[in-house]
Amino acid sequence: MTAKVFSENLSPTFSDISGVVIAGGRGSRVGYQQKALLTYKGEPILKPIMHSLTEQTVSVWVNANAELERYHGLTRQLFSDEYQGFLGPLAGMHAAWQYIETDWAVFVPCDNPNLPHDFVNRLLEAYQSQNNPLVVVDDGERIQPLYLLMHRSMQDSLSEAIAKNHLSVNRWVKENAHTTANFADCCPEAFQNMNTLASFAEAEIS
C-alpha cells in the first residue's frame, strides 16, 4: 500500500491499528540466536508479546529475518526486511507497511514480555492531546523509541533515513514531528528489555 498524507484531523481507534513485533535483529547479545524464540517462563518470549498485542490491536505481525520456518509455528503473519544486511528496527518498520492493511501500527521489540495492558490506549490518549504521525513512549526518564505508534505516512521518511544510513531509531524519532506518551506511573518493568542470555536464565528460575 502506498504512503498516505497525514492529517491532524485523523482520529485513530483500535480497529485502525495493527501490532508489529520487531524481531529482525542478528541476536548478537544472545549468542546470535533468535531472541524472540528464546524460552521465557516455559515458552518463546514472542508468545506473551503477541498475546498482549492481540488484545489491543486488530492484527499482529512479526518482522523476522532468519529461521523463518521456526516462526511459522507461532504465526503466519510474518515478513522480512526489504533491505539486506540486518539494518535494524527502521528497516523492519519500513517493511511493515507493505503488509499491514491499517493506516496505523504500534511497534514493539521482541524482548519485553511485560507490555502494559493499556499500552495502546495510552498512546491514543497522548495522540488526542497532540496530533502527530508518531507517538513514542516516555518512561519518565527518557523516550523509548522502539515503542511507538506510527501513521502510514511515515514510509517516505523511513526510506530517506535508511538511504542516508541514518539507522538510529532514537535519532529518526527526534528528527520528525512526534508526541510523547507519559508512562512514568507505569510498572517499573514495563519497558525493561531482556538483552542477555543471563536475563533469560534468571527468568526461568524465578
Is 45 annotated in a binding site? The answer is no
Is 156 annotated in a binding site? The answer is no
Is 9 annotated in a binding site? The answer is no
CA–CA dist 157, 175 (Å, integer): 10
- Pairing type for strands 39-40 and 43-44 reads antiparallel
Phi, psi of 181 (to 5 degrees): -105, 125
Is 138 annotated in a binding site? The answer is no
Is 111 annotated in a binding site? The answer is yes
139, three cell numbers = 518512561
Is 73 annotated in a binding site? The answer is no
Q: In sequence order, what DSSP letters do the residues of 55-109 get, joined into one string?
A: TTSSEEEEEE-S-HHHHTTT-S-EE--SSSS---HHHHHHHHTTT--SSEEEEEE
Is 118 annotated in a binding site? The answer is no
Known binding residues for GTP: 22-24, 35, 63, 81, 111
Annotated binding site: 22-24, 35, 63, 81, 111
User: Which residues participate in the annotated binding site for Mg(2+)?
Assistant: 111
